[in-house]
C-alpha cells in the first residue's frame, strides 16, 4: 500500500443517473436531500477485499439447475472489464442475477403471476481472466410489470454487481438488449441523461460469441474507474 494512493476521476456530467428522477417513483423515497460531501480517495477507497474463485466458486451456467434444463432461449454473454484507462481488470468478480424467461425472479418478494422455472435459479458468478474477459451462459429473460405506474413494464435486462480493485470501483448496473421497444419508455434506463452513456448499457449481438446449434452470443463490456493521471492538490477536494 502506498502512502499516497492514486485516485479515480469523477464521472463526466450526465453520464451517471441523477439521485432524484421524478419519472422513477422509488427515487422520491431514497434520494439524498442534502448536498453530498466529496471524500478524497485514500487507501479505504482504492483498496478492497480480494474475491477469488478459491473462496467463491464460479457458477458460469444458469441454464441447468436442480437436475434439469431451464426453459427459454439460451444465450451466451461475454465481454471485458476494463478501468477508465483501458487496462484489463484481472480476477474481478461479477455476480449476475435476472428474471426467468417468463419475467419472474426466483425470489419470495416477486409476486408477478408468471410461472417459476424449477430448473432456473437466475444466479451466476464469474471472474475475469488475465485479459479482463468474462463469460457465462443463461436464458434470455422476459419483461415484467413493476408498478411504477398502472402499465409499467421493465425492458429485458440482466443485473450485474462488480467488485473492482477498490471500493470506489464498486459497480451495480444492468445490461439491456438491442432493439427492445420498452427502452424508450423505461424511467430507469432513461435516468442516465447522456444518450451515448445509455447506449453503453445495451449489449450488442456478436456472431463470434454465438455457439453453433446452441446459443446466440452477446457482448457487454464494462468500464470501472481507474487511476487518474492528474495528481491531487493537497487539502483540496478531488
The residues carrying an active-site annotation are 105, 144, 154, 157, 159
Q: Is 164:92 a contact under the CB 8 Å cutoff?
A: yes
Distance CA 183, CA 155 (A): 6
Nearest to 137 by CA among 105, 98, 93: 98
Q: Is 46:7 a contact under the CB 8 Å cutoff?
A: yes
Amino acid at each position: 500500500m502506498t502512502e499516497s494512493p492514486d485516485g479515480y476521476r469523477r464521472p463526466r456530467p450526465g453520464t451517471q443517473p441523477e439521485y432524484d428522477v421524478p419519472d422513477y417513483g422509488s427515487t422520491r423515497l431514497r434520494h439524498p436531500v442534502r448536498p453530498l460531501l466529496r471524500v478524497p480517495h485514500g487507501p479505504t477507497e482504492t483498496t478492497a477485499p480480494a474475491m477469488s474463485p478459491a473462496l467463491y466458486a464460479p457458477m458460469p451456467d444458469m441454464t441447468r439447475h436442480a437436475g434439469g434444463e431451464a426453459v427459454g432461449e439460451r444465450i451466451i454473454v461475454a465481454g471485458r472489464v476494463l478501468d477508465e484507462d483501458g487496462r484489463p481488470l484481472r480476477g474481478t468478480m461479477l455476480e449476475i442475477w435476472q428474471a426467468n424467461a417468463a419475467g419472474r425472479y426466483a425470489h419470495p418478494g416477486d409476486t408477478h403471476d408468471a410461472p417459476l422455472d424449477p430448473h432456473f435459479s437466475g444466479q451466476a458468478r464469474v471472474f475475469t481472466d488475465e485479459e479482463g474477459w468474462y463469460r457465462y451462459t443463461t436464458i434470455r429473460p422476459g419483461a415484467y410489470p413493476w408498478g411504477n405506474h398502472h402499465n409499467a413494464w421493465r425492458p429485458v435486462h440482466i443485473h450485474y454487481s462488480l467488485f473492482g480493485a477498490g471500493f470506489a470501483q464498486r459497480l451495480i448496473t444492468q445490461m439491456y438488449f438491442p432493439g427492445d421497444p420498452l427502452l424508450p419508455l423505461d424511467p430507469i434506463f432513461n435516468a442516465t441523461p447522456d444518450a451515448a452513456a445509455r447506449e453503453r448499457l445495451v449489449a450488442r449481438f456478436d456472431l463470434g460469441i454465438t455457439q453453433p446449434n446452441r446459443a446466440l452470443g452477446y457482448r457487454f463490456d464494462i468500464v470501472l474507474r481507474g487511476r487518474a493521471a492528474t495528481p491531487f492538490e493537497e487539502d483540496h477536494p478531488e
